[in-house]
Amino acid sequence: MASNSAPTLLWGGRFSGAIDDLMFQFNESLSFDKVLYKADLHGSITWAKALRKLNVLSDEELEQIITGLQQVEKEWEEGKFVIDTKSDEDIHTANERRLGELIGDAAGKLHTGRSRNEQVGVDMRLWAGEQLTDIASALKSLLAVSATRAKEALPILMPGYTHLQRAQPVRFSHWLLSHATFLKGDLQRLEGVQERVSSCPLGVGALAGNPFGIDRDFMAKDLGFHSVHPNSLCAVADRDFVVEILQWASLLMAHLSRLAEDLILFSTAEFGFVQVADAYSTGSSLMPQKKNPDSLELIRGKAGRVMGQASGFLASLKGLPTSYNKDLQESVEPMIDCIKTVSNCVRITQGVLDTLTIHGDKMKAALTDDMLATDIADYLVRKGVPFRKTHHIAGEIVRKAEESKVSISALPLADLKTISPLFEDDISQVFDFERSVEQRSSSGGTSSSSVLAQIAAIEEYVKN
């Protein structure tokens, strides 16, 4: 059911027949790559400057092209750009077609020596680089909010968990900083991803290089890239930067999802440790009493979306032969969607933490004396007993308390002495949650001094 006339397309000169309507829709990418319009236009301006250095363009033609491209950008920004559904396959053809309408024949010189194979790589890298810078800034803000809330909540104690079972008392601040530490690692890894994204493929042609001696170093510098891509065959096929973005994002989303999961649990009536603000909650269409932490549940769900994009694109990439293949078009959508998803999730997480109500009284009420069993073992270690023996002794005390249906702090000293004669009156000092956390004062521990040091380290990292 062909109706599009092949010659109206950039590559149409080779063809006498028209392209099938469904094939045109199947082949086009403008529906999603139009978000790259600014990067594409800026890349074209730099390309025009490089052509002028080669005398392919005159000063007048360069000025016409730059003015025309700036007009096209204005149309996109104001929502006035009109897409030609018969010829605009992608953002590159749309911009070039519109430039020709604005300035005439001079527009035809812009594509001299340039291929869409290199152009799309430039556009994706420029756009992604800018977006990743914004995400890095958002991550820094999230870390700053985490540090601020940790400082505010320093006195609050809560149960620390392993296997979702109450384990030892910790500061709520320490729990929050555990998640901030994961996010700090994500921000550090992002720096490496950003460096590798910033490699300029412009000037490599369709696969074999540029025949006019184009100044690639000039173009890379003009566009703000950190380096020039070293191999033309690789450059047009290189989507490793997309893989890195997707994989980096997958790990970040895993960390955001784990934080979301904790907060979802802590906000239930069974825990009651925190309450998510109305701004980040929704209700039930049937049950008026419900207040659901949908912001956090969506973050948890979108983690799977991002991870699926990473594995899906790798499956598309793994069997490709050398150089450019149209399969690589499948890198654009997941990259765009992934970056948008991650950006939103980071900002939503920041909002949740910034407005979170913390119920320290509920956390304190959840502390139980059996969580100090390790402190009993430590008490005996300080009296010279090997830890393996003290661990066994502390276990006997826990069992004795369960049999007596009392807490371990309520066991009489006489009963404790039947288990070990080393117990003295000072054992009563062990049953103090604040004392327990303050003894964990080594670097990275849950004492107030250790937590404050962690906060200071995050604040310093964000500042620098």
Distance of CA 147 to the CA centre of its chain: 19
- Which residue reads 């009489």 in tokens? 412
Find all residues with CB under 8 Å of 308, minimum gap 6, and list them.
none
Is 174 noted as a catalytic residue in this protein?
Answer: no
- Read off φ and ψ for residue 64, nearest 5 degrees: -60, -45
Let me know: does 92 contact 119? Beta carbons within 8 Å.
Answer: yes
Longest dimension (CA), the chain: 101
| CA distance to 86, 130, 227, 411, per residue, from 49 (Å) | 30, 22, 19, 85
Each residue of 63-80: b (16+ CB within 10 Å) or e? ebbbebbeebbebbeeee
* Candidate list 58, 137, 227, 284, residue with the active-site label: 284
Active-site annotation holder among 163, 285, 442, 443: 163
Under DSSP, the state recorded for 171 is E
Alpha-carbon distance of 439 to 448, in angstroms, equals 10
DSSP helix/strand/coil, 268: coil
Query: What are the distances in angstroms from CA 40 to CA 30, 37, 46, 194, 241?
Result: 12, 5, 10, 19, 18
Two tokens, residue 54: 């080669």
Under a CB-based contact definition with an 8 Å cutoff, are residues 367 and 158 in contact? Answer: yes
In the residue annotation, 284 being an active-site residue is answered as yes
Enzyme catalytic residues:
163, 284
